[in-house]
């Protein structure tokens, strides 16, 4: 039987942490790295594990923090989970670790408290070996992609702790894109999305316009065109919105959300045709399942 380490990096998560740790308490060990909490986060963590580390100095780099936490794990596999997430059935983690032969295994990540459900697959269970590690200062990922999906399900929500530093993602992403330019396409996508979230429409379309010129992963590129379309539409730029949305559909004709959004922004006499196409779309190869 493979051993499993549940590994977390946390900061000011006293509201969410206990639920998360309760969901992974069957792990062989729990590693918690605190990056500077001023609330009861460390106190709560110590109720579940004696492996709580407080010596990592936060430096606006999630990969560095996660790799530091990884260095403390001794299990054969690592399950990476955040404080504002929880695992539905830990037995599925053990099953995947013992039956799937892959360095990294994909987990179904489900957004909590939304209807219809929104989900995507992401590598969160991986072999504990030096060749597998985290990259990216924010919206980070493993240096190896998951080759197999599992039945593991993790629900994620929005932690109240984010309100203590609401511009953290924007700050890190702008720094990464400024310093790395076209060598940071993934960060460009997420920066454009961050501008969308913050209602900075013009910056959103400008950044994603740069991104799609160098993008190489179709699911992400299609999603970028859809976000651009929504940002153009919000500004009243209907023709630009339709053009961007059409690009998303050209990349993936099964992109249900893009098809239905096109139905909402074309003249009324064409809307039903796009709706019919949307109804038959199956969302194959999309980045985020939102419809």
Sequence spans of domains, the chain: 4-161, 167-280
Q: What is the pLDDT of residue 119?
A: 92
Q: What is the pLDDT of residue 117?
A: 77
Q: What is the pLDDT of residue 109?
A: 96
Q: What is the pLDDT of residue 289?
A: 86
- What is the pTM for the complete model shown? 0.90
Q: Token pair of 49, please?
A: 């594990």
- Residues 211 and 200 sit within 8 Å (Cβ to Cβ): no
In this structure, CATH architecture of domain 167-280: Alpha Horseshoe (1.25)
Instruction: Give pLDDT < 50 ranges for the chain.
Output: none
Q: What is the pLDDT of residue 114?
A: 80
Question: Residue 122 and residue 4: Cα distance in Å, rounded?
Answer: 18
CATH code, 4-161: 3.90.550.10
């Amino acid at each position: 039987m493979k051993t499993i380490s549940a590994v977390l990096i946390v900061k000011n998560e006293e509201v969410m942490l206990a639920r998360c740790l309760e969901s992974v308490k069957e792990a062989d060990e729990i590693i918690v790295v605190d990056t500077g909490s001023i609330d009861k986060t460390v106190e709560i963590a110590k109720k579940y594990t004696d492996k709580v580390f407080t010596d990592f100095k936060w430096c606006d780099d999630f990969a560095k923090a996660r790799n530091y936490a990884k260095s403390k794990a001794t299990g054969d596999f690592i399950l990476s989970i955040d404080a504002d997430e929880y695992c539905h059935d830990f037995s599925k983690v053990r099953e995947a670790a013992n039956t799937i032969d892959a360095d990294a295994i994909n987990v179904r990540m489900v957004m909590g408290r939304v209807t219809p459900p929104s989900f995507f697959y992401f590598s969160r269970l991986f072999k504990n070996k030096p060749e597998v590690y985290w990259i990216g200062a924010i919206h980070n990922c493993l240096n190896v992609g998951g080759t197999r999906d599992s039945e593991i399900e993790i629900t994620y929500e929005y932690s109240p702790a984010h309100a203590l530093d609401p511009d953290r993602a924007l700050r890190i992403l702008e720094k990464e894109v400024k310093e790395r330019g076209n060598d940071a396409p993934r960060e460009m996508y997420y920066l454009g999305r961050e501008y969308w979230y913050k209602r900075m429409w013009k910056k959103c379309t400008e950044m994603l316009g740069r991104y799609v010129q160098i993008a190489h992963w179709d699911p992400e590129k299609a999603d970028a065109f859809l976000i651009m379309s929504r940002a153009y539409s919000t500004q009243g730029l209907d023709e630009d919105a339709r053009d961007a949305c059409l690009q998303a559909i050209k990349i993936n004709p099964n992109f249900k959300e893009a098809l239905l959004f096109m139905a909402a922004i074309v003249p009324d006499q064409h809307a039903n045709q796009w709706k019919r196409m949307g109804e038959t779309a199956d969302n194959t190869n999309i980045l985020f399942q939102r419809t």
